[in-house]
Structure 1
Amino acid sequence: MNKKLAFNASAAALATAIASPAFAGPTYENDTGGSFTWYGQFDPSFQSYDDGTETYDRLVDNAGSNSRIGFRLSQAFGENTMTFHFETAFGLRSSDGVSQSSTGDALSWDRTNLRHVDLQYDTARFGKFSAGQGSMASDGIAGSDQSGTGVVAGVAVADPAGGYAFRTSAGALSSVNVGDVFTDYDGGRLGRVRYDSNSYNGFVFSASYGTDILKTSNDRETYDVAVRYNNNDLGDFALAAALGAAWTEETGTADKRDIVGSVALEHKPTGLSLALASGERDIAGSYGYAKLGYTADLTSLGATAFSVDYYDGSDMASTGDSAQSWGVAATQKIDNYNVEAYLAYREYAYEDTSTTYSDSSVIMAGARWKF
C-alpha cells in the first residue's frame, strides 16, 4: 500500500468514526436488581514505520487500545452482586502484528482474541472474587497515567510497531524486533481465579493464579499479587499508584519473576501530570519510564491533551544490550460523538555488544470511537 492510499484510507476511517452518531450501549434492568449492558469501541489508525532504510505504511488497529465488543450481565443478591463479563477483540490487523515482510490479515479472529469470559462475585463485606478468562492481579500495574494521551502513548512503547525488525547499520533486516526489546513486564489476561479486597482508604489488594487456557499445548502457570492506590481528592492533586509481582513457570523455559511499579500525579488546576514506571525481570532486564503530560479545555469539542515520554531499558534480549525510546503525542476528545482523535510520533534506538542497528520511528494517526 503506498503512502497516499494508506493516508486516504486512514482519513476515511477517521471521518467515519467522527461522523457516527453518539451512541452508548443501553442498559436493560429487571425488577430484582438485574441488568444487562453492552459496549464496544473501534480504533482504526494509520501507521507509518521508518526503519532507517525504507518506510512502510499500513492501516491497522491500534494495539494500545484495540477494537472490541462486550457485555456485562449482573444480578443483585441482597448486598452482593454476581456479574458475567464477556469481551472479545474483533481480530483486526494489529499495529504490533505487522512487519517489513508481512501485512497480516485484515481480519483474523481466533479464540486468543477473547479478552474476558469471566464470572465475578462482588461482596459488600469481603471483596470481589473472579473466575474465568480475564485480567490477572498485575494486569495494568505498569500503566498509571493521568496525561490523557494513554490511547496512543504509554509505557507499552512497542504497541505502535512491535512486529517490525531493526535493520543493521549495513541495511540488512536483523532477527531483533521492536517488541523483543521494549517490554513493560505488565501482567496480562489468563484463565484465572482472582481476589480483590475492598478499598481501605484508597488501597486495594489483589492476588490471582492463572494458566493460559486459550493456547494449545501450553502449561504456563502464573501467580501474582498487587496493590493499587487511587485518590482524586488530595487538594489540588490526583494520585494513582500501583505495585505488583508475578511468578511464572512453564515447561521448557526458565522460571521468572517480574516486579513492576508505577505512579501518576496530576495537578488539577494546571492540567500538568507526571507518570513514572519501572520494572525488572529476574532472568532478563529492567527498564525505567517517565511521561510528562498537559491537559486543557482549548476548544468546545472536549479536552485536548499533549505528552512527551521516555523509555530506557537494558538486558532485554541479551546481556549488555540497551533500548531507548522517546515519543510525543496529542489527543483531542470530541465529547458529543464519544470520539478521541490522536496523533503520535515515536523513535526507537537499540544496541547490543555485537551489532550496530539503525534507529527507527513510527507515526500513528487515528481515532477511537466508543459505543
Structure 2
Amino acid sequence: MRVTRVALLCTAIACPAAAQEFTNPSGSSVKLYGQLSPAYLSYDDGQESNAGLVDNNNSNSRVGITVNWPFADETSLKFNFETSLGFFQSNNLNITSFDGQQWYSWSENDIRKLEVSYQADFGTVWLGQGDMATDKIAEIDFSKTTIIGYSDYQAVAGGFAFRESDGTLSSIKIKNVFINLEGSRRMRLRYDTPDFNGFKFSAAAGENVLSGDNKYYYDAAIRYENTLGDVKLGAGLGYNYTVPKDGGDSTEAVMGSVSALHEPSGVNGTIALGQYMDGGDYVYVKAGWTGDIWDIGATSLAAEYYSSNDIGLDGSGSSWGLMAVQALKEQSTELYAGYRSYGLDSETVSYDDSDSFMVGARWKF
C-alpha cells in the first residue's frame, strides 16, 4: 500500500496534462477534467506526533464532467457532475490515524456537484448539489498559495486535537477553532445576478441531503472583482442563516474577504474575517509575493496569521504559517510546502502549542 501511495505522488509530479474537451458544430461541448492532490502531512501536539500520506483537503483529488448547450441570445444550459476520489483527507488525520481507518473509501458524501444551471440576460439559476451563495466568499485570495493554505484553516490538520499541558488529549480540534464560517456545498436552489461593473449578487436556499444533518440553509453574498490600474482587486461579503428542522436554535453569521495583487511586482495581500451574530469572531491575514525566478513556472511565497475569539472554546486561538508553491507549467503541476504553528489561550485550561507541516503536489488534467 505504501508503494502505491508513493507511486501516486510521483505520477502527480511527472505526468503531462490530459484534459479532454469535445465540441460539435452546433456549439455544444463536453469537458472531462480532474486533478490528483496527494500530500504528506505531519503534526506534533506538543507531546505526541503522527504523520502520513493524505489527500490535500485544501483542493482534493477529483474528477468531473461539464456538458454545455448554448442557445440563441447568449443563453445556455449546463450540466456539471464532480466527485472527490475518496482518498483519506488531510483534515481527518489525527494522533491515532490510521488506526481502524481506510486510506481509500468512496461514498455519496464525496459527490461535490450534481447540478444544472441556466444562464441568460437576467442572470444564472442553479439547481442541485453545488456551491451555496457564501461558498468561497471568505476565500478570495490572489496569492497563488491556496493549495497549501488559506482562510479555511482547518483543511490541513483539522482532525487533530489540542493537548492539555497535563498530558490529557482534549476534545477541542483544529477544525473547531480555526474556521471561516462561510457556506459549503448543499442540495440547493441558487440565483446569481449578471455582472454589474464588477459586482455580482447571489442568494441560495438548500439542505444537506447527502449526509442528512436535519438543517435548512439560507445565505446571500455580494462579490466584486476588477482591475484598477496595476492592481487586481477582489472582495466579497456574505451572510448565512441555518435553521434546524426540529425547531431548535438557529445560527447566523457574517463573513467576507478582500484580496489585492499588484501585478507588475507580484506583491499581494489578503484579509478574511467573520463573526457569529451571537458572539465569536475571527480574522485572517496573508501577505505574499509571486514572480518568475525560473522558466519552469511562477514561484509564490506567503506568510499568514489567524486569530479567533470564542469559537470552539471559551478563549482564543491563534496561528501563523509560512508557505511556498512552485508551478510547473508544462506538467500542469504545482509543488508546495507549508508550516503552521497553533496555540490556544483559555482562563481555565492550559494547552500545549502544536504545529503541522505538509508537502505535496497537485496535478490538473
The two structures share one fold, judged by TM-score above 0.5:
yes
**Deviating 4+ runs (over 3 angstroms):** 8-14
Mapping of residues 153-192 of structure 1, within 5 Å: 153-192=149-188
Q: One-letter code of the match for 2:93?
A: V
> Partners in 2 of 1:19 and 1:77 — Cα distance?
40
Contact kept? 1:9, 1:59, Cα under 8 Å: no
Match of 1:60 in 2: 54
> Partners in 1 of 2:133 and 2:218 — Cα distance?
9
Contact kept? 1:242, 1:261, Cα under 8 Å: yes
Shift of 1:283: 3.4
Match of 1:140 in 2: 136
Match of 2:114 in 1: 117
Shift of 1:10: 7.1
Match of 1:196 in 2: 192
> Partners in 1 of 2:5 and 2:187 — Cα distance?
35
Of residues 78, 94, 97, the one that matches 1:102 is 97
- Runs of 5+ unmatched residues, structure 2: none
Query: Deviation string for 1:146-203 (max 9, x for gaps)?
Result: 1110111111111111001111101221111111111100110000000001100000
Contact kept? 2:172, 2:313, Cα under 8 Å: no
The two structures have a TM-score, normalised by structure 2, of: 0.96
> Partners in 1 of 2:329 and 2:56 — Cα distance?
20
Of residues 123, 145, 148, the one that matches 1:149 is 145
**DSSP-derived class of the 2:12 partner:** helix
Percent identical among aligned pairs is: 39
The two structures have a TM-score, normalised by structure 1, of: 0.94
Shift of 1:351: 2.4
Of residues 248, 273, 285, the one that matches 2:268 is 273
> Partners in 2 of 1:174 and 1:39 — Cα distance?
41
Alignment of 1:293 with 2:288, yes or no, is: yes
Contact kept? 2:182, 2:240, Cα under 8 Å: no
Shift of 1:284: 4.5
Residues 253 and 173 of structure 1: CA distance in aligned 2, closer, same or farther (over 3 Å): farther
Shift of 1:140: 0.2
**Aligned positions, number:** 361
Shift of 1:252: 6.7
Alignment of 1:28 with 2:25, yes or no, is: no
Contact kept? 2:318, 2:344, Cα under 8 Å: yes
- Runs of 5+ unmatched residues, structure 1: none
Shift of 1:12: 4.8
Shift of 1:355: 0.8
Alignment of 1:46 with 2:40, yes or no, is: yes
Match of 1:71 in 2: 65
Using the TM superposition, name which of 163-172 and 247-256 deviates more.
247-256
Q: One-letter code of the match for 1:195?
A: Y
Using the TM superposition, name which of 125-134 and 170-179 deviates more.
170-179
Match of 2:83 in 1: 88
> Partners in 2 of 1:235 and 1:345 — Cα distance?
34
**DSSP-derived class of the 2:54 partner:** strand
Contact kept? 1:126, 1:197, Cα under 8 Å: yes
Contact kept? 1:10, 1:46, Cα under 8 Å: no
> Partners in 1 of 2:279 and 2:103 — Cα distance?
34
Shift of 1:316: 0.6
Residues 71 and 325 of structure 1: CA distance in aligned 2, closer, same or farther (over 3 Å): same
Alignment of 1:226 with 2:207, yes or no, is: no
Q: One-letter code of the match for 1:112?
A: N
**DSSP-derived class of the 2:91 partner:** coil
> Partners in 1 of 2:299 and 2:353 — Cα distance?
30
